[in-house]
Structure formats: structure tokens, C-alpha cells
A and B are shown apart, each in its own frame.
Chain A
Amino acid sequence: MEMKAALDNKSGKIQKVLVLGGGSAGFLAAITLKIKLPHLEVTVLRSKEIGIIGVGEGTTNTVPFHLHDYLKLPPKPFYEIAQPTWKLGIRFEWGTRPHFNYVFGLELDTRHKGLAKGTGHYCGDAPYEYVGYPSSLMTHNKVFFRTPQGPRLNPDEMALHIENELLVAWLDGQARSCGVHIMDDTVIEVLQDEGGITALKLVSGQSATADLFVDSSGFVSLLLGKTLKEPFISFKHALFCDKAVVGGWARADEPIKPYTTAETMQCGWAWQIEHENRINRGYVYCSSFISDEEAEREFRSKNPKVDKTRIVKFISGCYQRGWVKNVVGIGNAYGFVEPLEATSLATICLQASTLTETLNSSKGMVSELAKELYNRRGRRAWDSNRDFLGVHYKFNRRFDNPFWRECWAKTDIGAGQELVEYFQENGPSGLWRVPLFQGEEYRNYGMEGYFAMLVGMQVPYQRTYEPEPREFELWKKVQMELKQAAMNAYSVKEALDIVRQPEFEWPAGLYNRPQGIGLRR
């Protein structure tokens, strides 16, 4: 490529961006930068030799907002090409209850009219299937309520299940149409000086240069980790699992569930992700407590239909900084946590939009301070993921065995400790959510997320509330209404048929979110 570009650019202004990696992280970063900052020259360098690791995954509800609100990409073609299904939440087979629902909308951290306390207080020891809209739908394997106008779509409650190959195919198309260059080549050597990366030498004999390198090379972390040698912060004091056995099968007549399942296993947990034509499972385990063979056996005994399996090794943690010199790590090249809350794609979107906003406000000339802030924000997001996942392990009393005892005793939940202490005294009271949740990264889970897990796992608390009979009747009535509406709702299959009709239009403004705190006139 043009070797001189970096040298010619004496202003120090970032004009050329090279994204290393053609997976979902690389493409998401590239289209985000190019769509929001069209004056940038953005190139994705992908290697045909490196396959895509992921098979399919779940998202949180923030990913569609990134695509359809922040990037203004229309849902219709996205649904046509990427073919996602919907995920209203996670069914946790976890803790002492048979299961409980973790949803993306607000349920436990709300208050129903006429009830004295927040909804979480009415979810004591009895099973709770009907706490709000999404959990009621999940209970009945339905995805959208039926209204005279068609399905009731609430983007806050809708995350996705998406097959990686289809997602990348859609991203590839978006990248091309917005003007991202795509180069197929492989890096053989990375050149650097004190300012950072100077060039990538490629198999073809060419070199690639840029003002800014986005490292989306996955676990390898070729630029951020391998080349710049940024220290890696391990999360092994909080998250003990380090391997997964992954497999799946072609869907036969199993109904498409509108949620991900997270099932407690002897030495970890297993996901079940619902694609339209395939069911994708994986058992995340801790190799110091179970061998690969035993894990495979346990996994297969629960999932007799699994065809071939493979084992993935991983290390939970993140690099100390995501932006070092002229390299920004995005995705697994920056850090990784197991997909217990399906945060991977959401984290990529957050990193890509924060990078974009930083470049924009810095007028392309990024100060060390701006990088420091980017890194601070990135690190907070990683830590909040780690702490929240830690809570999942520390209080799961489903199985009593050496692995789980180790989790109960040794999981460090960091800043989550203060929240848990608050809960153990006050129960699901949202009163002090403001000082308990400082920083917007924590808002991704918020009180709702913590309540869902702590109430769900039946973590004991001191302050109990006994509803009066009148309240109890009212609460029963609320639940009955939810049940009625849920029984009558659309299944995933029905909803897919509707959105695929050529005349179906996604409601305009569905994904428009009010922006910022300051007024926009």
C-alpha cells in the first residue's frame, strides 16, 4: 500500500485507519468509524487463513441500538441477510429455584400501581413466571404481544441470537457499501518505532500503513498484546473457568425459544442459543476441576443430539489499556469474558462508538488525555462485566461440589460487593441506585440486573416484606393479566414470518433514543 502516508501526514491528524481482522469485531469497528466519520479512509485487512471462531452468539439489547440508532442502518435488510432470532433474556437454570428469567427490560426494579413496594419484593420464595412483559413471554415461549396493529415491538426488551457467518456476511456488505476498503492478505511482520506501529508487512509482499491501527485480531492480540506488549490483567481471581466444549445440532421440531438458556453444570455452566435452524450449545468449565473427557461426557449426556464438538481454550481478562500509542484493541484483542451475559458484541459496539466519539471530538488529533479517558471507560466496562459474572458464581447454590464450593469461597466480586451487602440488608430496594451505580457502564446491568440474579438465586436478605392480603390479590391479578396476554402472543416462528413479509415495515423511529443530558434544541 502507500508506505508514505504516515510520513506525509505531518499534521498528526488521523486520516487513515487500518483495521486488522475481518471478524465481527473488525467489521463492526470499521463500519462504525466510516459511517460516523466518512472523511476517514478505513481499510479492513483480513486473512483468509484465519477462520471465524464463533459459531453463533447472543447479544444484549444495546447491539440493535448501535446498528439501527447510532449507525442508522435499516432493520429490514439486516433481518433479511443476518437472519437473527430474538432473545428476550436468559433463562437461568441456576441457584435453588428450578429456573428464573433474566430479561432486558425492567421488571424487578419497577413498582406496579397499587403495590407498596418494588416488584422484586413480591418474588420471594414462590416461583415467579409473570413479573413483567418479557418474563411472561419467555414463560410461554412467545416473543411479541399481539395487538390489532400487529406485534408489539419494544426495542429495550429485544436482543438477538445471531449466527456469526451471517452477521459477518451482512457486515461485509455494509462495509463495502459505505466505502470501507477490504484487503485480503496476511501479516508476516509488524514494524514499530517509539510512536507505535509503523507498518504491517504482508504475505503478498506489500506493506500496510495507517495513522491508527485497530487491532481486532482476536485472542492473538497481534498489535496490542504481541507487539506493543501491553500487560494483561487476568480475571482468574473472579472467573475460574478457562475452557469450553462447544457443539450443536440442526433444529428438528424443537420450538424456537425466545431466550438463551444458561444451565448450571458440575464444573461450570452451559449455554443454549436458539438459531432458526440450529441449536448451539457449549459447556464452559474449569479445567482444574474437570478433564476435557469428563466435560465432554457430561455435555453429551445432557445433549444427546450434539453432532461434532470442539474445545476452546480461553483466558478471562483484559489488557491494562485498550488504546496504546496508535493501536486500539477492539473485541477479543482487548479482552474477553465468558459469554454468561452475552456481552461480547455489546462491548465491541461500545468500544467502537467510544473510539468514534473520541476521534470526532478530538478533531482527529488525539491527546494522551483522550486516550486515558478512553482506557478508563474501557476498563470500567471490563471490570463491571467481571464483577457481575462473579456474582453469578459466588451465590449459585444449585450443586454442592468442590468446584462450586471454590466459587462460593473464593470468587472476588470487586465493586459488586457493596451492592450485594446492600441487598443482603435491604432486599430488592432500588432506593439508593444512584450512589450504588456510578458510571454508565454499570447501568448496562443496573439494579435490575443485580436484582434479577440475587432474587433469582434466592440470596437471603434481612428485610422481608409481607404483602397485605389486598396487595397479594392485586399482585395475583397483575400476573393473571400478564399470563393471558402472553398465552395469546406470537411465537418466534410466527413473528419471523411477519417481519419477512415483503410489505412489513419496521416502525419508523423504533430505535430512536433521546440523546444525552443536555438539551437538544
Chain B
Amino acid sequence: MHIERNDMKKVTDVLVVGGGYSGLLAAVNIKAKAPALNVQVLRHPIVDDFSTEILATTSALPAHLLGDLGVNGPALMRGIRPTFTLGTRYEWGPRDFFDWTYEFQVDTKYAKLSHESGYYVGDGARAFEAVGPASALMSAGRVFLRGPQGQPQMNINRVGYHVNPRTLEKFLEGLATGLGVILRDGRMAEAIRGEEGLSGIRLETGEVLAADIFVDATGLQSLLLGKALGTPFHSFAPGLACDRAIVASWARGDQPIRPHSSVRAMEAGWCWQIDSEQIITCGHGFSSAHTDAAAAEGALRALYPKCGVARVLSFSQGRYEKSWNGNVLGVGNAAGFIEPLASAGTAVLAFQCQWFAQTLVDCDRIIRPTLMKQFNKRWQRLLEGEREFLGLFYRFNNRTERFWSDARERSHLGDLDIVVRCYEDLGPDSVYRATLLHELDPINCEGYYSVLIGQKAPWTKRWEPSAEELQIWQMVQENWRRKAAMAFTFEEAMAVLLGAPANQGGGARRAMAPVG
């Protein structure tokens, strides 16, 4: 009854080009889920990438490492020494600040209140503060609430990391070699075209490495997916106009560690601050059409007088048409790049690595076109979703400089347009969530409404809470403030997390994670 095509070859050899965290994470995923495959990582040096001294992730990366891959928690803490980020605090728009966190805060309804929390923050005079536990913790400079037994309440789906990418790579190398991934040094000279994409990689030594699948982890250069295969690139400019960044850092000293990333709108772009134990990093993303590097560096130094030597990074925002093209899978920046305003990079990377590996397992290593099609479709939506999310920041900004008026005009909302129209009609209501948003939209109403309310984007169907409801809302906020004041500082939390039982071997779980 069933048709089996005999001409289809089973994948046996995977070659990852690029030994940064993107390539290593791909290798770990593939080897952990399909141990029968030969997985090799060629540590071809990555140049001209968007590289910062500290990487900020969303909650997707911890959830992937600890959840999907089953990495031991204390081992991870010891191995990568992260600090914790509950979200981002934006000094952006008419308020002093607003937060987008990995908690449900504005898109939550308390049983004793008639509307979702977003309505109580409102688009008027009330502050975007202590809207929920994450916001309250961010204001208190603390990381985790105290649980009933006094333990830190850390939910791996609600916290991101600030992590040194080199440390992360060391840790992933350990996992990879533990699983049997071969790491080798070498420089690629040329990618050799084959029938379905590539047939091999020629090294500078003349040696040719063959494989069935090539993972392109060469960063913005996209040596395989972009350069060798000529996959078309779709630019996100001019909607996302930034194409340069100045980055720098300084030793933290006794400055407290902020449990969040910080972002501030600037004259022709925006600045970030990311804290870690040793250093604090900062950067200024800008549009080279609107300002120059010297002016941007001046603005960055005015804001962060302590910062040391600065570097300039340049980049194009956009994505390749496909992340998986023929026998080449582009991961991370090699497939697409978006400025880190919402720290999307590692979330997209984790998706690519996890779902590619899952696909290989599920199809018994015989890849058919519909699998690639669905992979690409899901990845495209993910990246386009991040692009549209950033569109909200630019569409609703209230600044007058040319960068900002251009940004407003050119901002691209795509599928979010209808979500915005609904918000402008009803406010932060969840009634159409199921109609408007994909079930697994990673940003969801929580993210969209935080950014809209955060910028005081108004809506038509006015509704003001009664004095009585407002009092209840203030009690809710007071409750979070009180809990946050007694919460764990970073140092206290880390001591507990490191003190948990020692890791048994430190390897990633080999078992396949449940499908879906």
C-alpha cells in the first residue's frame, strides 16, 4: 500500500562550518537527538560577525538548554556563569520607562479585577511599574521571588541569560565532545557545489570534507547558504534602518548587577546596556544614513562615561529566503539577522537547532521536501514576527529627529497591522488573540501590548477603572513591590543555584524530546 522511494539516501554525515555558539548548539542538538550520525564541527574562524562581549538571550535559550536538551542546571550555572535577565527596560517614548518581560504581566487578568492588567496601566498618567512580578523585581534590582520554602522561584520559561559567548562556547564544546561530536580546526577555502546544494568543503590544506548535510554557522558572512548557494537575501531595511553599532564595555566594579537588559532611544538609533558579573557592556546601534560613527561614539560615551575602547560593527538586517536550502542549513546570523532590540537572535537559533534535529529523527534521516518546506515556513514566520515586533517600537515612537520620523514612516508591521488596529479599537484586550495570533507566537499579546502601552499608544473604546478597581490594582502593585523587596539578589540566587547537587557527567540528554 505504501510507496517507498528507493532513491532517497539516509543522512549519515553532518558537517558544521563555524565553531561559534551557533554551530556548536546545532552540533549538540543533532548529535544528542540522532546519535547515529557522524557530526563534525569545522572551526573555521568567523569574521565580521555581530559579536559582543556579553550576549543577551530571551527565555528561549535557557528553556532550550535545560528543557529540550536536558542539560543539568548547576552544571550549566558553573559552566557558563550567566547573570539573569527578566526582560528589557526601555527608555523609549513618553514614559520614563516601560518593561517587556518574559512573564505574563499586561496580558494577565486578576480574578478580582474586571479587565486585563494592561487596562489598569492604561495609556495615560499611571506609571508602567510593578505591573507584575518581573517588573517589580527589575525596579528592586532583584532576580527571583522567594518561594514558600525560601527557595528562589526560577521558572526556566521566564528568565533569560546575559552570558559571555566565549564561555558559552567552551561549555557547548564540552557537551559536544561528550556526545561524540568531532571538533576540528581548519580554514575553509571553498565550498564545492553538488547536485542538491554542496558536495564538500575544500580546506586551505587541499583536503575535502564531504557530508550529506552542511550546517552554515559562519555568521553574517553566510559563506554556504548565502555565498556558495546564492540564496536570495530579503532586506529588512528601510523599516529597520540601523546598520552599524558601536560597542564597548567597562569593568563592573561594585556597580549592582541589573536583572534586565536596558535600552534607550537616541538621536539616530538606540543604546543598550547589558550587565554581567565581571563587566558591563554597552552599545549604540545607529543608521549610517542618519549619523556617523564618531557622533554615535560620542553619544555612547556621554551616556556611559566609563566605557573603554570602542569597536564598530556593521551589518545588514534581513533574512535569506530559506534557512534550509538543499542540503545546507543556515543557523543563527548565517540565515538572518535582526538588531538585538528584543534579543531575538538566540531564540531563533534555538528553534533552528532543535527543530532541525527533531526533523532528522522524525523522518528516520530521509529528508523529504515537505519537511524542509514546513521548517522554512515556521522559521520565516518566527523571523518576520521579530521584525514586525520591532516595527512597533519604531511606528509608535514620539521623537522628532529625522531618524525617528523616517523610522515611523517606514516601519513595517506586516501581519501585526491587524493586531495594532484591534488595539487601537479596543485597547489591550485578549478577545481576538486566537483569531489574530498564531498559537505559538513567541511574543504574543504580552509583548505587543507591553510595547504599545509602553509608548502610550491610545485606543478608542475608552474604559477607565472605577476608583474602587483602581484601589485593587494599586494593592496588586503594592503586593508585587513588597514581594520584590524581599526577593533574591543575583548573588544570593547564584549561591543557591550553584549549591544544588553536582552534575552527573554534564551531558545533554540523548533521548528525543517529546514531539510538539
Interface residues of A (CB under 8 A from B): 111, 118, 124-125, 357-358, 360-363, 365, 367, 369-370, 373, 376-377, 421-422, 425-427, 429-440, 443, 458, 460-465, 516-521
Contacts and interface: CB of A to CB of B under 8 A. Distances in A.
Nearest to B461: A363
Contacts of A461: 2-3
A425 B368 contact: yes
Contacts of B436: 373
Contacts of B438: 434, 438
Given A426-B368, A431-B516, A462-B368, A517 B2 contact: no
Nearest to A431: B362
A463 B516 contact: no
A370 to B, nearest CB: 7
Contacts of B431: 357-358, 360-361
Interface in B344-394: 358-359, 362-364, 366, 368-371, 374-375, 377-378, 381
Interface in B411-460: 418, 421-422, 425-426, 429-436, 438-440, 444-446, 460
Nearest to B429: A361
A518 B446 contact: yes
19 contacts: A362-B425, A362-B461, A363-B461, A365-B461, A367-B425, A369-B421, A376-B435, A426-B368, A427-B2, A429-B363, A434-B440, A435-B381, A437-B439, A439-B435, A460-B1, A461-B2, A462-B3, A465-B364, A518-B445
Contacts of B108: 518-521
B322 to A, nearest CB: 14
Contacts of A460: 1-3
Contact of B515 (A124, A422, A430): A430
Contacts of A360: 431
A423 to B, nearest CB: 9
Given A461-B2, A464-B2, A361 B440 contact: no
Given A376-B435, A435-B378, A438-B438, 20 more contacts: A421-B370, A425-B369, A425-B371, A426-B362, A429-B363, A431-B371, A432-B371, A433-B516, A434-B378, A435-B374, A435-B377, A435-B381, A440-B435, A462-B2, A464-B2, A465-B364, A517-B445, A518-B430, A518-B445, A520-B108
Given A367-B425, A516-B430, A429 B1 contact: no
A465 B4 CA distance: 10
B170 interface: no
B173 interface: no
B123 interface: no
Interface in B287-323: none
Nearest to A516: B430
A176 B421 CA distance: 39
Contacts of A365: 461
A483 B296 CA distance: 73
Interface string B1-29: 11111000000000000000000000000
Contact of A369 (B3, B116, B359, B422): B422
Contacts of A438: 438-439
A23 to B, nearest CB: 27
Contacts of B515: 111, 118, 429-431
> Which secondary structure dominates where chain A touches chain B?
loop
B111 interface: yes
Contact of A431 (B107, B358, B430): B358
A124 B2 contact: yes
Contacts of A376: 435
A434 B382 CA distance: 12
Contacts of A464: 2, 4
A111 B511 CA distance: 14
Contact of B378 (A357, A432, A440, A519): A432
A148 to B, nearest CB: 31
A361 B426 contact: yes
Contacts of A519: 104, 108
A426 B432 contact: no
A463 B374 CA distance: 16
Contacts of B363: 426, 429, 431, 463
A432 B374 CA distance: 6
Nearest to B359: A431
A443 B431 CA distance: 18
Q: Give 8 nearest A-B pairs by CB, closest first.
A: A432-B374, A361-B431, A518-B107, A425-B368, A519-B104, A464-B2, A435-B378, A422-B370
Nearest to B381: A435
A115 B358 CA distance: 16
Interface of B: 1-5, 104, 107-111, 116, 358-359, 362-364, 366, 368-371, 374-375, 377-378, 381, 418, 421-422, 425-426, 429-436, 438-440, 444-446, 460-461, 463, 514-516
Contacts of B377: 435
Contacts, number: 127
A359 to B, nearest CB: 10
A463 B430 contact: no
Contact of B434 (A118, A124, A440, A465): A440
A425 B435 CA distance: 30
A459 to B, nearest CB: 9
Nearest to B426: A361
A377 B432 CA distance: 9
B109 A518 contact: yes
Contacts of A432: 371, 374-375, 378
A426 B516 CA distance: 16
A436 B374 contact: yes
Contacts of A369: 421-422, 425
A111 B512 CA distance: 12
Contacts of A430: 515-516
A517 B116 CA distance: 13
A363 B119 CA distance: 14
Contacts of A463: 4, 363-364, 366, 368
Nearest to A423: B370
Contacts of B111: 520-521
B422 to A, nearest CB: 7
A432 B369 CA distance: 13
Contacts of B374: 422, 431-432, 435-436
Nearest to B421: A369
A155 B418 CA distance: 35
A518 B107 CA distance: 6
B348 to A, nearest CB: 15
Nearest to A520: B109
Contacts of B432: 361, 373
B316 to A, nearest CB: 26
B241 to A, nearest CB: 29
A178 B109 CA distance: 27
A464 B366 CA distance: 11
Contacts of B368: 425-426, 462-463
Contacts of A357: 431
A426 B436 CA distance: 29
Given A433-B516, A435-B378, A518-B430, A373 B435 contact: yes
A430 B362 CA distance: 9
Given A369-B421, A434-B516, A518 B378 contact: no
B110 to A, nearest CB: 5
Nearest to B361: A431
A427 B429 CA distance: 40
Nearest to A96: B1
Nearest to B514: A111
Contacts of B446: 518
B467 to A, nearest CB: 19
A421 B116 CA distance: 41
A440 B431 CA distance: 13
Nearest to A427: B2
B435 A377 contact: yes
A422 B359 CA distance: 13
A518 B2 contact: no
A315 B4 CA distance: 41
Contacts of B433: 516-518
A358 to B, nearest CB: 7
A229 B267 CA distance: 55
